[in-house]
A = this chain, B = another copy of it.
Amino acid sequence: MKKVTVSIITIGDELLIGQTIDTNSAWMAQELNALGIWVHRRVAIGDVKEDILETMAEEAAVSDIVLITGGLGPTADDITKPTLCEYFGGGLVQNPDALKNVMHIFESRGLPVLQRNVDQAMVPEACTPILNDRGTAPGMWFEKDGKIYVSMPGVPHEMKGMMESYVLPRLQEYFETPAVVHQTLLTSGMGESFIAERLMDFEKQLPAHIKLAYLPSYALLKLRLTALGKDKISLAAELSGHFQLLKSILPDITVADQDIVMGEVLGRILQKQGKTVGTAESCTGGYIASSITAVPGSSAYFKGSVVTYANEMKMKLLGVKAATLDTYGAVSEQTVREMATGALQLLETDYVMAVSGIMGPDGGTPDKPTGTVWIAVGSREEIRTTRHHFRYDRDRNIQMTAIYAMNELRKLMNT
């Protein structure tokens, strides 16, 4: 079976000047992979006619499908659509469905319709228009010399709507694709090179159609097995055997046998144990609570949190003693321990995480340099504390603190 490949082209100066981080491509790649379609290259270019023409031709030469996002919208249409007309031949025509969609959106919001909105319903006559049920810019499906091209808006939820309702199903009809199965082991606590040593024999015995990838992700390392073949069911069974072997080699560092975020790992354990959790956060400012509540259904085990940035709030809400803050400081084992104890009482949960630290860029001292964090995790029976020193920027120090706190609680809950 021939491998079906896609190139993703994103159009927009904002991607080249770093104003926007491209999250569309990752989502698209995941969805395409699930259908057995492989992303060969991803290219980002500016709103320049020559670059668009050249890149489309280049990518169509190496891939079966060219997916284009961006460059559409009421103030961006001027370049992309005429360029598509030039590439595929023919002019712009008004599409009645797209026009109805534009009119409906503006009328339902009680807004007047401007000429530039009406113009959004103009599409190249060479295309099959794709309805945008989340915005005004229609998508466009083209076929030329045996290759498929699809142009979609860059707004993520508009692009996703079109992919799900139209593009992915139609691609699946169009191509015969191989079966692909992934399985990911989430590990923590051991470096990439040490794991690689332990997996040397395992890697050697893997058949050629199954590959192992090391994917570092903050304090975690993901080990992903990917199998390619003809039949999804037998492939999944084969992969599962290798995955069980992989797990059995690394029981001490396994966090989860699925590619999930740490908030989900915690959520599953809590739900299984029928327990609840809360947080008392200083330096993370609510980030741990928001990581936990980012998971749908978290209200089953998450009751609440307090963010006590000011010392007076640590005392008032959590009952941290003034003497403790005076003697040991806000960033200390004693303080996080009292925060944890206070939060268990205030939030009435089974488990708690409490953190206090210096996230930077300022606030460090010789004794407690920037990046110093104390973490307490525990229950009414036991509270464990750990000291950490992160050496990143503020954002990453906050994220690392959250991951470590959640991982410490995971270890405590699993023992």
Which residue from chain B places its CB closest to the CB of A155 in the assembled complex?
Answer: B216
Is the CB–CB distance between A293 and B286 below 8 Å?
Answer: yes
Q: Tell me which of A18, A43, A51, A310 has the highest count of chain B C-beta atoms within 10 A of its own C-beta.
A: A18
Q: A302 and B309 in contact (CB under 8 A), knowing A20-B26, A28-B18?
A: yes
In this complex, how many residues of chain A approach chain B with their Cβ under 8 Å: the count is 99
Stoichiometry, copies per complex: 2
Q: Counting CB contacts under 8 A, is A38 at the interface? A: yes
Which of A91-99, A191-199, A243-251, A321-329 is near enough to bind chain B?
A191-199
How far apart sit A288 and B31, CA to CA, in the bound complex (Å)?
Answer: 30
Is the CB–CB distance between B193 and A393 below 8 Å?
Answer: no
Is the CB–CB distance between A310 and B317 below 8 Å?
Answer: no
Is the CB–CB distance between A360 and B40 below 8 Å?
Answer: no
Q: Counting CB contacts under 8 A, is A128 at the interface? A: no
Is the CB–CB distance between A21 and B14 below 8 Å?
Answer: no
Which residue from chain B places its CB closest to the CB of A211 in the assembled complex?
Answer: B13
Chain B residues near A39: list those with CB within 8 A.
16-18
Q: Counting CB contacts under 8 A, is A44 at the interface? A: yes
Sorted nearest first, the 9 A-B pairs with minimum C-beta distance are A285-B293, A286-B286, A286-B289, A18-B29, A18-B30, A74-B193, A304-B313, A42-B44, A305-B307
Q: Which positions in A face B, CB cutoff 8 Å?
A: 13-23, 25-31, 33, 38-46, 51, 55, 58, 73-76, 111, 114, 116-117, 134, 155, 157, 182, 191-194, 196-197, 213-217, 222, 224, 226, 259, 279, 281, 284-290, 292-294, 296-299, 302-310, 312-313, 317, 346-348, 360-362, 391-396, 398
Given contacts A15-B29, A157-B393, 20 further A-B contacts (CB under 8 A): A14-B215, A18-B31, A18-B33, A20-B26, A21-B23, A40-B45, A42-B43, A75-B192, A114-B197, A116-B193, A285-B294, A286-B286, A286-B288, A290-B398, A296-B362, A299-B310, A304-B306, A304-B317, A305-B307, A306-B317
Chosen A-B contacts, 20 in total, with CB atoms closer than 8 Å, are: A13-B213, A16-B39, A16-B41, A17-B30, A17-B33, A17-B39, A18-B26, A18-B27, A21-B22, A25-B44, A40-B51, A41-B55, A73-B214, A111-B191, A279-B307, A285-B286, A285-B292, A293-B307, A294-B398, A303-B309
